[in-house]
Amino acid sequence: MSHVLVIDGHPDPRSLTAALASSYAAGAGADALALPLRDLHFDVNLRTGYRTPQDLEPDLVRAQELLRWADHVAVFTPLWWGSVPALLKGFFDRTLERGWAFRYKDNGMPEGLLAGRTGRLAVTSDSPRWYLPLVGDTTAKQVRGRTMEFCGIKPTRLTRYAGVRGRSEAEIAAWIREAADLGASDAARAGGVRRELTAASR
């Protein structure tokens, strides 16, 4: 059984993002853990950048433990202003510390220190699917490429729940059911990757 960590980056527990994350975690099975960031207590500001260390609050220490524990990491977020909520961005800034989640090698190239984990990014948006590539699909590039995969979580697959505004209740309910199926398939796939890595290390 693979360990699945589901990070819910929406501040509102009544949101579609939260419902999708909860369904995905339920589908991923007994070894899946949901991490709703709105329930954590931490300063979202990296107050001095990387100039001086900033002590982690207990909830962020626990979050790092869960990231180490996970075989698969799923991030659920809405698209706000071409980016993510401040809550999620602050979580990334504070938790994915240099020297812990990534480092720079002697040649100046970055190295992800969370390698060996697969990922899933799920993005909700009022914008229709066809519109996002026209404006650069910035949230997907930022979170999948420049955050998760930068730290070694790859491959990170992308799921878009686009055009939320105007969707019928039936369509929303179908999305939520499908999220459970997606969690189940990702958990099974991550378990296979874990077995391959274990065999390769022997």
User: Whole-angstrom Cα distance, residue 141 to residue 138?
Assistant: 5
What one-character DSSP code corresponds to residue 134?
G
The structural architecture, per CATH, of the domain 4-201 is 3-Layer(aba) Sandwich (3.40)
Q: Is the pLDDT of residue 152 over 70?
A: yes
Distances (CA, A) of 61 to 52, 74, 171: 18, 19, 38
Per-residue pLDDT, 129? 80
Q: Whole-model pTM?
A: 0.93
What gap in Å lies between CA 20 and CA 114, rounded to an integer? Answer: 25
DSSP 19-52: HHHHHHHHHH-TTEEEEEGGG-------TTTTSS
Q: Over the stretch 16-48, which tens digit does the pLDDT of each residue have?
A: 999 999 999 999 999 999 999 999 999 999 999
- Mean pLDDT over 82-93 rounds to 97
d(CA 154, CA 102): 14
Alpha-carbon Rg for the chain, nearest whole angstrom, is 17
pLDDT score, position 45: 97
Asked if residues 179 and 24 have their Cβ atoms less than 8 Å apart, the reply is yes
CA separation for the pair 7, 126 (Å, rounded) = 21
Judged against a pLDDT cut of 90, whether residue 201 lies above it is answered with no
Would you call 80 exposed, middle or buried from its count of C-beta atoms within 10 A (0-12, 13-18, 19+)?
middle
Residue 202 has pLDDT above 50, yes or no: no
pLDDT tens-digit series, residues 168-197 = 999 999 999 999 999 999 999 997 555 454
What are the residue boundaries of the structural domains of the chain, listed by start? 4-201
* Residues in contact with 72: Cβ distance below 8 Å, sequence separation at least 6, in sequence order: 2, 3, 4, 5, 28, 117, 118, 119, 120, 186, 187, 189, 190
Whether pLDDT at 105 is above 90: yes
Give the per-residue pLDDT at 136: 77
Query: 184: which DSSP letter?
Result: H
Rounded Cα gap, residues 78 and 76, in angstroms? 7
Average confidence score pLDDT of the chain: 93
